[in-house]
Amino acid sequence: MAIVRGRYYEDFTVGDVYRHHWGRTLTQAESQLFATATMNAVPLYFNALHAEALGHRQVPIHPLLVMNVVFGMTVEDLSEQALAHLGYWNMTFPRWVYPGDTLISSSEVLDKRESGSKPDRGIVHVRTTGVNQRGEEVCVYERKILVKKRAAYGGI
């Protein structure tokens, strides 16, 4: 028996807010690994003396790692039934994230519409917000997702 995860187009309602699972604590090790793996050349993200000289208490987490962690928490609720990701915009990082911070994310459905060219799918517009353990916003962005319709893809 197959387990179907995620939401089909019909399951999204404008105004709904999904509080995504568990949250995730970021470590200094994964921050350093991210900076190294992405060949980041900005010393703020790998040099403690440089970060301190700029007024940081420690090396901050790179914003793109923050965004990817926040985004990753949304997949089960938003895009398990997606056909395509249609882009991000209005992305902001209102506060720094540091090793030891725990991120939690939620998404609000802003709009949805049926596809104009294919009747088996629709487009869902969401705003995702990532907060730290103090409830302070650390990452906010909007995106659109091309999502399957249940009847067209055999969903239950």
Return the pLDDT at 47: 94
Which residues have C-beta within 8 Å of that of residue 94, sequence separation ≥ 6?
A: 136, 137, 138, 139, 140
What is the pTM (predicted TM-score) of this model?
0.91
Instruction: Report pLDDT digits (tens) over 72-129.
Output: 999 999 999 899 999 999 999 999 999 999 999 999 999 999 999 999 999 999 999 9
| CATH number of the structural domain 9-25+61-153 | 3.10.129.10
Q: Hey, where are the domains in the chain?
A: 9-25+61-153
**How confident is the model at residue 21, as a pLDDT?**
85
For the record, the structure tokens of 89 come out as 């915009």
Count other Cβ atoms within 10 Å, centred on residue 124: 24
Distance of CA 133 to the CA centre of its chain: 16
Q: Which of 74, 100, 91 is nearest to 12 (CA)?
A: 74
**Position 3 confidence tier, pLDDT thresholds 50, 70, 90:** low
